[in-house]
Structures are given as C-alpha cells and as structure tokens.
DNA sequence: TTGAAAGCGCTAACAA
DNA sequence: TTGTTAGCGCTTTCAA
C-alpha cells in the first residue's frame, strides 16, 4: 500500500494525485513472498504455478491494486500480439467495424491499438504510430495512404484493408461485393416497377468506384442501360443533399441508389423539405446499414455490409497471416444483403 | 538493409511480409559508425550531438527506414508523456474534441492514446487500458464509470472530464456553461417573439441535467415559468424523433430546444415528414454545433461548445496538473455562444 | 513447482 | 562531443 496511505491535505486544499511510482511485479512478489517470475506466470495465466500460489498471488495483486505494465510486457514478449487499426472518428460505419474488431481480437489473444485519421492527421501518420508500437498487423478502415506508401507498409507487416478494393497485390482485402450489393438494390427497385433509377455516387470515397460500376452493370443487365444516370456525390450528408437539389431541379426519377447511408440521409432531408414524398414520389436505397439506417424515423432501405462479420473476417485474416496459415486468396468478399425498410415502395402508375 | 533484400517468391506466389526483427538503434549506430547513445540523442532531438553527426545519423536512419520503438521509449523514459483519452466512436462531438486533443497535445510534447467505449466495452475497461499504458493523465469524454471507481482512478493520476459536471471533487472538469447555453437559446427564441418553448431533454446523458436546469432557469427568468415543458429525450436521433411525434400529437409549441444536435436532427426529420415547417411553424435549437449542424441542408441553429477550445483547455489542464502548476479551481467553464442558422425564425402571428 | 538471470530497445546519468 | 553503463518492468529460458 506504499504511496497510497499518505495524503498530504495540509499543503494544498486540492487532493493531489500522486502518480508516484506504479506498482511492479517486484512489489507483488515481495508481498506474496515469491519470486517475480512466479508472479509473472500467474498474471499472464501461464502454466507453472500451483493453484494455491496462484490464488495467493492474485489476492495480493488485487489487494495492492497491481496492474501489469503493458509497455514492459510488449517489450519483453517475443510477440506483441498487437493489432493496429486506423479509422475515421466521425464515421458510423467505422465505429461499427471497430467495435467488431475489439470483439473478435480478444478471444484470439490479440490486443487492439487505435489510431485516428482526422482532418489534420493523415492516414500515413496514423499508420506510423501503429508501426512505432510494433503492431504485428494493420487493419485499415477508410481513407488510405498513397499506393506506393501502402506497398511499403505491406512489406513490413500484414495489412488488411476493409471495405474497398485495392490495386495493391501485397495487401489483403475484406469487403462486401459492391457489385452484388448494387445489383440487389437495382433488382429490388426494378421488381417494384421502377425504371428510371439513378445513382448518386461517392466520388473518390473508398469503394465508390466499385459501386458505380456495380450500378451500371446491374442496370445493363436489366436492360436499363439507356436510363443509366450518375450524379456526382460524396461520402457525407451534404453530398447527398446537393445531389438531391440538382435532381429535384432537373426531373424526378423513379428511384435513387446512393453511395452510402449518410448520402441518403441528406437526400431524404432535401426531399422532405421539397415536398417530395418517399417512397410515394421516389424510392431511395442507401448503403452500409449503419446505425442511422435503422433509426425509426428514417427506416432506410439499404444494403447491409454486416460490419460485425467484416470486422471478424479482417481480424481472422490478419491473424492467419501472422500465424503463417495457408491462404489462397488475397481478397475475402462477403455477400451483402438488402434490408428493405420504409424508403422504397411500388412505382407510381 | 538486413532482412529487406531477400525475397522468397519461389515458395509461394504471394509476397509474404517478413515482420522479421525490426531495426533498432543498434543497427543505425553500427551503420553510421557511432554509439547507440548518440543515435538516441539524435532521434529524440536532444542536445549533445554535432550538426554533422546529427545529419549523418538522420540520413542513415532514413535510408534504413528506422523507426524508434515506442514501447522501449515509453519504458525507458522517466516520463511517458502519454495522455489517455476515452471516447465513443460514433459520437461526432467526440470526434471533434479528439481531433482537438491531438492538435493541442503534440506541441506540448505529449502523445495521445485512444481507448474506445463501445456497446461491449465499458468506460471502466477503457480506462484500465489507459492505465496499463501508464498514461500520465486521462481525459474522459462521454459516459463515465461509476463515481466510486472514478474517484479511485483520480487517486492514481490527474483526470479531466470534458463536457459535463461531476460531483467528484478529485477530477478536473472542462466544459461549457450549460445553463448559459440554454439561456442563450431561450433568450434568442424569446426575442424572436416565441413564448411557448419546450425542451426535449437528454435523459441521463452526460450534461443533460445541467441543460435541463438551465432551460428551467432561463424560462423563469423570462417570466415564462408557466409554459415550462420538458419532454423525455436522449442523446440520439431517434430520441428526438420520438419526442417530435409525442409533441406533434399533443400540440405545436412555438419552439423547441433540444439536448443536442443529434436529437434535433431526429426532431427536424419528423417535422418535415409531418408537414410541420421549420422555422415557419416551429423553431428548433440544437446543442453542440457538431458537424451535422452546419450541413447546408440542415442549417441548424445551435449552441456552440467550441470543441477545439474545449479540447485544448482539457489538454492544458491535464498538463498543468502533471507539471504541478498552481491551479485554483477544479472546473474550467467556457462561455458557449449561439450560432444562428436557419431553423429559428420570428414567431407566427 | 519455483527461482535466478538474461534480455527486450530504449533513455539518461556519468565518464572520457 | 562522444561512449559506457545501468536501468525501465516485464517475459522466458534454464536450473534447482
């Protein structure tokens, strides 16, 4: 209990936290009357200690409030068992995936290190941090660094890109089949009787190209090539809103398929304000099935990428590489599925 | 260049990343023909190396692609200079603050460690991770652990809670004055001629109580005590949407002040669908001025907490504690300000 | 089942 | 200005 009993309340009125020296294995060992090695064994649940010793050491550790020092652990261990993740903080889809990564990594004995990509923190910088922590593998969500830099990183450790294809042969990709997803959306709309189906794309956002292509392919397959119409969009609400305004000014198609849910949200809002009813006047399909999609007031029909499964596949793949398992393919492709909610309905006649 | 030249492409068609052993100070020292200590000095930009040596070491490090091992660094340094942050991944306000924390910490020589709070990862668990990294201080956004646990943590290291008051005397608080914020909102609406102003609250969300109280105080001050009306809400879009439905079914007040922007978004959407125009039929004020508020299609009038300033104050306070500066108060309170956009307008007559 | 001892890659005295 | 050396708190052989 050293350092924890004394409280200097006299000198200052505020209770000063005493960062002091944190407890070490040594302290626990001394108190329990065993060697450091034994405490180490107990703390990391390794075999080699009697049940009795184990119990006593654990009790002492608990009593003292001992908490293993992860820096030392990471340094001493032969392997760090650290999985690095880069993500955007304001992206609901990333939030879902990251939650899934935490959940998938833990039972496999891996820890997760987060590194944010923000307006002022480039993807390259985020990855640098992961490398300096000696992460064993990197899982990349969202915006990527330039391809040459990515290739260099992939030389150093296994890299798994989530949610978008990559021309880089050295990285693994875990994603949903965007062409299939778009086909599901288009088919659904066609079956509802819609013909004039436009796409508000994602511009240069991750996966946008694949979805654009998928939309075109699906339209052609349905014999709707002549009505293919692509509007410039982006990955955020205001991109959808802008497209909706352009759209409303030009003509009202039967239906819109957007790059993602956020774009659809912007679209829906502008429609609502313009007196365009959904799905009465127009049907809307989003993409991602992120948390906003199932909000009761939105009830957005959308293509689900199953973030949880994407996450566990990404972790699985990273771990497989680390454990030198045989892996046939560079890319895992999930089959997306359509979640029909309230923003799509039969064609007006 | 050890480990980097050989490429076994024969055995398998895929280019296997060779995590191998990462480069160490030793490798750089050997190549540059100096001691490890000197390389260390150069890498951490410490005084004690000639310009020429510095340049040569830097060149070698660059050539080899050397990257300091942060684990070892953290362990060997007298201080970690690590600032831990707990945050929710799907919260746009947290995203803004975290970006600000990164920006504020770096020039002060501190690094940031992120620890996510998710549906399956409790605040306590998130803080535990920070402690095991031996962060020197913790900055807590959003949901907190139980007060007793928080107090225990505050015994071990400086804790700064952002955005909400706390009954815990041992932690610092950096937040905007919620009562003032609500007064700004109410005053603005009153000046527009509104009288019947309701509040959709945040339930048990961080800071909700303070805003609720602030609303009531402001209403009383304006002599509007009789029309005080509080609807149960929450911190997400659907909470606002649910409240909007209840509201629409009962009566249409002149204006609504919500707990946060997300709630306002839900509210606005339901109104738009119900044919209730904003601000024609009703004015709406949000709270946070988060990224959604300034979306061109929303143009939400809102109370700004200035996430960037909140962030830099939180970092400043944490650092001040670590550097044993005299600090008079436990709480820093920012003055919020109103951002008038398009969701508020003159009273209907 | 337990303990002694040698690192892990770095920092920071201290000496040269 | 440079090099030597002793840790940082842990893991992990290897003996006892």
Facing residues of B198 across strands? B256
Residues of B in contact with A115 (CB under 8 A): 114
Task: Assign B90 a pLDDT band (cuts: 50, 70, 90).
Answer: confident
pLDDT in the model for residue B268: 92
Of the candidates B263, B237, B288, the one whose C-alpha atom is nearest the C-alpha of residue A261 is B237
Rounded to an integer, the average pLDDT of B14-42 is 81
Rounded CA separation B293/B301 (Å) = 7
The answer, yes or no, to whether residue B125 has pLDDT greater than 50, is yes
pLDDT in the model for residue B13: 33
pLDDT in the model for residue A20: 57
The answer, yes or no, to whether residue A10 has pLDDT greater than 50, is no
For residues B268 and B277, the answer to whether their CB atoms sit within 8 Å is: no
Rounded to an integer, the average pLDDT of A69-80 is 95
Residue A316: Cβ within 10 Å count: 17
Region of A228 (left: φ > 0; alpha: ψ -120 to 50; beta: rest) is beta
pTM over 0.75: yes
Chain B interface includes A6 (CB < 8 A): no
Rounded CA separation A85/A332 (Å) = 18
Tokens found for residue A113 = 């290190």
Rounded to an integer, the average pLDDT of B249-273 is 93
Q: Which nucleotides of C are covered by protein (CB under 7 A)?
A: 1-5, 7-13
pLDDT in the model for residue A9: 28
Task: Assign B20 a pLDDT band (cuts: 50, 70, 90).
Answer: low
Rounded to an integer, the average pLDDT of B32-45 is 95
Residue A344 dihedral angles phi and psi, to the nearest 5°:
-125, 140
Task: Assign B328 a pLDDT band (cuts: 50, 70, 90).
Answer: confident
B324 CB closer than 7 A to any strand C atom:
no
Rounded to an integer, the average pLDDT of B187-209 is 96
Closest nucleotide relative to residue B75's CA, C1' based: D8
The answer, yes or no, to whether residue B165 has pLDDT greater than 60, is yes
When CB atoms are compared, the residue of A115, A132, A296 closest to B69 is: A132
Residue A149: Cβ within 10 Å count: 14
Rounded to an integer, the average pLDDT of A180-205 is 97
Of the candidates B89, B87, B94, B90, the one whose C-alpha atom is nearest the C-alpha of residue B130 is B87
The distance of A273 to chain B (nearest Cα, Å) reads 6
């Amino acid at each position: 209990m050293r350092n924890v009993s004394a409280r200097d309340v006299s000198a200052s009125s505020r209770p000063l936290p005493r960062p002091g020296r944190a407890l070490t294995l040594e302290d626990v060992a001394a108190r329990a009357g065993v060697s450091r090695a034994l405490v180490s064994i107990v703390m990391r649940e390794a075999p080699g200690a009697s049940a009795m010793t184990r119990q006593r050491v654990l009790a002492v550790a608990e009593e003292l409030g001992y908490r293993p020092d992860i820096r030392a652990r990471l340094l001493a261990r032969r392997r760090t068992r650290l999985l690095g993740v880069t993500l955007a903080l304001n992206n609901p889809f990333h939030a879902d995936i990251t939650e899934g990564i935490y959940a998938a990594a833990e039972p496999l004995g891996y820890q997760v290190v987060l590194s944010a990509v923000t307006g002022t923190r480039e993807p390259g910088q985020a990855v640098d941090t992961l490398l300096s922590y000696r992460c064993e593998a990197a899982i990349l969500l969202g915006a990527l660094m330039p391809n040459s830099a990515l290739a260099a990183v992939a030389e150093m450790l296994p890299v798994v890109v989530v949610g978008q294809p990559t021309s880089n042969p050295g990285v693994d990709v875990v994603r949903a089949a965007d062409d299939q997803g778009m086909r599901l959306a288009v088919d659904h709309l066609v079956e509802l009787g819609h013909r004039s189906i436009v796409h508000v794309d994602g511009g240069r956002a991750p996966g946008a190209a694949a979805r654009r292509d998928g939309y075109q392919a699906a339209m052609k397959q349905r014999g709707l090539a002549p009505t293919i119409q692509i509007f410039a969009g982006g990955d955020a609400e205001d991109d959808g809103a802008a497209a909706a305004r352009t759209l409303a000014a030009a003509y009202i198609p039967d239906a819109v398929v957007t790059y993602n849910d956020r774009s659809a949200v912007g679209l829906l809002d502008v429609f609502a304000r313009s007196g365009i009813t959904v799905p009465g006047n127009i049907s809307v399909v989003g993409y991602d099935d992120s948390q906003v999609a199932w909000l009761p007031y939105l009830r957005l029909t959308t293509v689900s990428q199953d973030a949880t499964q994407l996450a566990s596949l990404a972790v699985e793949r990273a771990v497989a590489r680390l454990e030198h398992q045989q892996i046939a393919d560079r890319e895992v492709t999930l089959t997306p599925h359509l979640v029909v909610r309230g923003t799509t309905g039969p064609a007006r006649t």
